[in-house]
Chain A
């Protein structure tokens, strides 16, 4: 079974630009969550999508947005990039229907560098 895939793996952007990251979950998984990982703040939850609906949202500004398609693939978008947005963005998928015991499976991440 193929794991979670994320594209692209690396991105370099400049301040003020926008970026779209993509995530394909494990086949059959309907929940996709996004996390931001930085050395200073660690792993922080961005949002979760389940069946094309945002089910939970972390404490990030509105510049961070996402969506999920009918095949469960998800994208996240960051507009008006700031230097502080440089991070590893991780996507995780799970069945989404097993309640709090659902373990999430993570992709390799997209390394975003903002210059």
Chain B
């Protein structure tokens, strides 16, 4: 079965420090991977995606993610965290053979950035 795991319910980091939010996946075939962020009482906002090519993907608001096929991981990173980055982060996968909209989401990781 296809699945996505975010092993940490919450990540705490001090403002200005680098942050990492972890994601691992289990799918058959080549995955298409996505990161979304959700602020309170809001829908999900797209951050970045990996389809093919360079393993390091750059996205919105200074975020980037590294695809590692051997470790089946797609960790979200940012060199210097801001208090305003505090939110709920979701990793998602769209796996073959689906060409449809269905995304499989991880359980989410709450990022808390403290001043």
Contact = CB atoms under 8 A, between A and B. Distances in A.
Interface of A: 4, 31-33, 35, 42-45, 48, 50, 55-56, 58, 90, 92, 94, 96, 99-109
A33 B42 contact: no
A37 to B, nearest CB: 9
B36 A33 contact: no
A101 B105 contact: no
Nearest to A49: B101
A38 B54 CA distance: 34
A55 B98 CA distance: 10
Interface string B33-55: 01010000111111001010000
A43 B43 CA distance: 12
Interface residues of B, number: 27
Contacts of B36: 106
Contacts of B43: 4, 90, 92, 106-109
Given A101-B51, A103-B49, A56 B101 contact: yes
A4 B43 CA distance: 10
A45 B105 CA distance: 9
Contacts of A107: 43
Contacts of A94: 101
Given A103-B46, A103-B49, A106-B44, A92 B105 contact: no
15 contacts: A4-B43, A33-B101, A43-B90, A43-B108, A44-B105, A45-B103, A45-B104, A50-B100, A56-B102, A100-B32, A100-B51, A100-B94, A104-B103, A106-B46, A107-B43
